[in-house]
Amino acid sequence: MARKKKRWSLSDRPVIVTGVAEGAHHEHLPYQRHHFETIAQQNDATNFAMWLFLLTEIMFFGGLFTAYLIYRNWYYPAFVSASHQLSIPLGGVNTLLLICSSFTMAMGVWSAEMKKKGALVLCLILTFILGTGFLGIKTVEYGEKIEKHHVPGIHYSLNSFLYPDSDEAARVAKDHALPLDMARHTEIYFFLYFAMTGMHALHMIIGVAILAFMIARAQAGAYTTGHVTFVENFGLYWHFVDIVWIFLFPLLYLISRH
């Protein structure tokens, strides 16, 4: 039997590649990867992938938020006293920094879309500075906790909660001494504080590192050619990290302040 060359078509209808696809195929913009039919499809797919990734991030933080909710319900007095050890001014400034950085990031995406190279680089640098500023303040806050032995583990100290008069922050907040049993649960609060803000800070560090990389690339004119997916997706990531903080701030700092 002679081997025939079978024409590829699912029916007798000839294969029609639609207009848009055809055009893109011939032009084939340099940043379009081979397996996408059109650049629109490529952008769509990468954006969608980014949203899905953020969904996994929500689930990741979700585990910690669940733990927070349960323990806060059980050990409310301990959580209140422990939250008084955090500095609302520092936390507030940090919240402000992050909100500003989200704004500069959004402006950065806009500049990339408008193909304004100078504005894009400026926005990215501002975002970088604000993000680094946040991490700097966070370091100061962590340092304070280490000094006071509020880091969970073998060196953890209950003094601020058993003898609130010995601790300035507790005095200011007019804390009552907690019974030993409840005071011990402040350790759970501080564990959650470090796990949640630490996980958040880790995301910030990754974000700032990518920002540094993007600034260098943007100066070389990488994102102002019309292909803005990377900036756009990074923007989504940055806003996400920002939103996580918007939840963390009231949950950790403002427990009894209403």
Partner 1 sequence: MSTDTIVSLPDQSTARVPKVNFLSKENGLLSWLLTGDHKRIAILYLISITFFFFIGGALAGLIRLELLTPQSDLMATDTYNKVFTMHGIIMIFFFLVPSVPATLGNFFIPMMIGAKDLALPKINLLSWYLYMAAGILALYTMMTGGVDTGWTFTTPLSTHYVNTNVLTTGVAVFIAGFSSIFTGLNFIVTIHKMRAPGMTWFRLPLFVWAHYAASILMVLGTPVLAIAIVLVALERTMGIGVFDPTKGGDPILFQHLFWFYSHPAVYIMILPGMGVISETISTFSRKRVFGYTAVAFSSVAIAVFGFFVWAHHMFIMGISNYSMLVFSLLTMLVAVPSAIKIFNWAFTLYKGSITFETPMLYTFGFMGLFTIGGLTGVFLGTSGTDIHLTETYFIVAHFHFVMVGGMLMAFLAGVHFWWPKMTGRMYPEKISQLAAVVTFIGFNLTFFPQFILGTLGMPRRYASYPAEFQILNVFSTAGATILGVGYLLPVLYLTWSLKYGAIAGNNPWQATGLEWQTQSPPLTENFPEIPIMDHEAYDYEWLDGQKEKEVVIVG
The residues that touch partner 1, with contacts defined as CB under 8 A, are 1-4, 6-13, 15-18, 21, 33-37, 41, 44-46, 48-49, 52-53, 55-57, 59-64, 66-67, 70-71, 74-75, 152-154, 184-185, 187-188, 191-192, 194-195
Radius of gyration of the chain (CA): 26
Rounded to whole angstroms, how far apart are CA atoms 126 and 146? 30
Rounded to whole angstroms, how far apart are CA atoms 123 and 224? 13
Nearer to partner 1, 110 or 191 (CB): 191
- Report, in Å, the least distance between residue 162 CB and partner 1: 15
Q: Which two tokens stand for residue 24?
A: 């893109």
Task: Tell the residue number behind the tokens 């500095």, with chain if given.
Answer: 87
Q: Are 50 and 233 in contact (CB under 8 A)?
A: yes
Nearer to partner 1, 71 or 110 (CB): 71
- Report, in Å, the least distance between residue 253 CB and partner 1: 20
- Report, in Å, the least distance between residue 57 CB and partner 1: 7
Task: Tell the residue number behind the tokens 């000094």, with chain if given.
Answer: 147
3-state helix, strand, coil in the chain (%, to 5): 70, 0, 30
- Report, in Å, the least distance between residue 32 CB and partner 1: 12
Nearer to partner 1, 54 or 93 (CB): 54
Nearer to partner 1, 193 or 245 (CB): 193
